[in-house]
Amino acid sequence: MNHLAYVFERFPSFTQTFCVREILELERQGLRPLLFSIHDVRDEAVQHFPTDLLERVHFLPPQDELVATIQQLKDARQLPQSVVLTLREWGDAPDKARVYEAAYIGWKMQSAGVRHAHAHFAGLAARTCWWLGQFYQHTYGFTGHANDMFVDPGLPVTLDHMLRDSAYVATVSDFTADWLREKFPARAAKVHRVYNGLDLAAITQQTVGRPKIQPPLIYSVGRLIEKKGFDDLIRACAVLRKEGKHFQCAIAGDGPLEAELSALIQAAGLGETVRLLGAQSQPQILEQLARASIFALPCVTERDGGKDNLPTVLMEAMATALPCVSTRVAGVPEMVLHGKTGLLCEERQPEIFASLLARLLESPEMAKTFGEAGLVHARENFSQEHTARQLLALQIEFGDIAVDAKLQSSHASFGKACRRQRWHRLVRWWQRRKPSKQAIHPKSA
């Protein structure tokens, strides 16, 4: 028996390792999820997850095949009438693929006896879950992260629609929880902060206590995109070099700004000091974190309002007892506690960022103290066992998920959530007796 469904845009993917960790930890805690990936990722070059995980994922058919399958199900009268009417009325309006995906996933969920779905990111997969709720009356929840909430894609199903009709919303920082409550006050009670979790013990065991390389390594990881602020890191390195500081810097990741950043490195005369490493596997990243002296990530707000929220790489650096230098953007100050686990400045100030790096380069004892405090902070707040348990309690309490005795007894909080679940089911039953909500019409797109 499956307890609930997870709907991902891409799963498992090396770019979203936190999703893999979450699923594996939830399964360890007794959950049996039905896994869906809208896009097929089996040809990804980097794969660092258990090989049998792929075998448990249901990959949706390619678009043409998916449309044909839905047509066959429609002809066989195996779909809700609401699917048929929506497809007829939607025409060429945007995001129609979500309708097909929801019709297909809902059909599969019905066959498995599953009535609740969860998605990561308030984007493609969450919009698909919204349609699941419309067509099959399944409950759903989603985890909001950063740009998926901050940047409006201008599609018919909006963030407000998804909040309105969700059973709950998890988000990965206090910053975004407060932002959602202020922006959508009528939905405030649905919003819950649940940090992304890490397998801290495994990371610490592989990294802490390893000898540092010389000259001291300033290390960073991320997609080579605007919000990571790597241009400011390179400019900060130019300032350090001008001041005669002894160091090296390495940035792991690929992306559209690679050529621009490479040109900036050369123009600053940093070709022997700053390296762009390209995409690296998780073992390679951990190896670099173990040997580095400082982790640096000067996050910025993009021109369209996009920004990082709670970058996982900062958590990973803290789990390796590295001091972190970053900026006061979104949820970053919830991880990097200024003057305790690292140092912060305002965004887009490379000269000040350089001075923070210099303080740690000049004081290895301060760097060590910050790194040790960061490890304690990570253990107290970002352990995947704790964060997964929080999320699972939310899913049990607010979602229409099947709960067996084994799952209910696996932790005391789950029993309490099960008792509250009965109340929420009664509330949903009563609400369904009211007139239905106004539907989204494709002409509004």
Q: What is the CATH number of the domain that holds 30?
A: 3.40.50.2000
In this structure, the answer to whether residues 371 and 438 fall within a common structural domain is: no
Judge if 336 and 395 occupy the same domain: no
In a domain, 204, yes or no: no
Which residue(s) pair with 226 in the sheet? none
Positive or negative torsion for Cα 122, 124, 127, 131: negative
In a domain, 23, yes or no: yes
Q: Are residues 157 and 8 in the same domain?
A: yes
If asked whether residues 19 and 142 sit together in one domain, one would say yes
End position of a domain, from candidates 327, 361, 377: 377
In a shared domain, residues 298 and 193: no
Tokens of 326: 């970053």
pLDDT tens-digit profile, the chain (445 residues): 899 999 999 999 877 788 998 999 999 998 999 999 999 988 876 566 778 888 999 999 999 999 999 999 999 999 999 999 999 888 888 999 999 999 999 999 999 999 999 999 999 999 999 999 999 999 999 999 988 999 999 999 999 999 999 999 999 999 999 999 999 999 999 999 999 898 888 888 888 788 899 999 999 999 999 999 999 999 999 999 999 999 999 999 999 999 999 999 999 999 999 999 999 988 899 999 999 999 999 999 998 888 999 898 999 999 999 999 999 999 999 999 999 999 999 999 999 999 999 999 999 999 999 999 999 999 999 999 999 999 999 998 898 887 777 776 666 667 666 666 655 665 555 555 555 555 565 544 4
For the chain, how many structural domains are there in total? 2
What is the DSSP code (8-state) at residue 441? P
Q: What domain range includes position 222?
A: 209-377
Between CA 140 and CA 192 the distance in angstroms is 14
Measured at the CA of 338, the angle between CA 333 and CA 340, to 5 degrees, comes to: 120
Phi-psi region of 165 (alpha: psi -120 to 50; beta: other; left: phi over 0): alpha
Of 348, 377, 406, the residue at which a domain comes to its end is: 377
Q: Quick one: 125 and 96 in the same domain?
A: yes
- Tell whether 202 is covered by a domain: no
Domain final residue, candidates 331, 346, 377: 377
Q: Residue 325 — φ and ψ, nearest 5°?
A: -120, 125
Q: What is the 8-class DSSP label of residue 247?
A: -
R_g (Cα) of the chain, nearest Å: 23
The answer on 88 and 161 residing in a single domain is yes
Phi, psi angle pair for 25, to nearest 5°:
-70, -40
Global pTM?
Answer: 0.85
